[in-house]
Amino acid sequence: MDYYRLLFTQRALNDLAKIVGDIAEDDDEAASLFGQALLDHVDLLKRFPRLGTSTPRRPRVRKLVHSPILLYYRIHEDKLLVELLHFRHGSRRPPKSL
């Protein structure tokens, strides 16, 4: 079985830093635990890139839920690559573009 590589876009890295930073304002330990759990979940995409569901309006973009965070990503089969596009809080409206 081939493993996929993960590629975080700058937008995804910024989103992740903001999410963990917001949690850390109240509780550093909770921020660390949540951030690590989220990254562990994302790491599953190396072996199971279709773990998330496809999005209706963007068929090439998939969504992985790590409640309350949604991760939007795209699979590049030819490169064995999962491109992590955007982390977003589930209570926010879906992004207009990715």
Q: Are 18 and 35 in contact (CB under 8 A)?
A: no
Could you tell me the domains of the chain? Answer: 5-89 (3.30.2310.20)
Q: What amino acid is encoded at 95 in this protein?
A: P
The pLDDT of residue 64 is above 90: yes
Whether pLDDT at 49 is above 70? yes
Give the pTM.
Answer: 0.90
Residue whose C-alpha is closest to residue 12's, from 74, 67, 59? 74
CB 89 within 8 A of CB 15: no
Which pLDDT band holds residue 24 (cuts at 50, 70, 90)?
very high
Bridge-based pairing of strands 53-54 and 5-8 is: unpaired
CA distance 29 to 15: 19
Report the pLDDT value the prediction gives residue 96, as an integer from 0 to 100.
Answer: 67
User: What's the rounded Cα separation, in Å, for the pair 91 and 29?
Assistant: 23
Q: Average pLDDT for residues 85-96, to the nearest whole number? A: 81
pLDDT given at position 40: 98
Determine the pLDDT at residue 48: 97
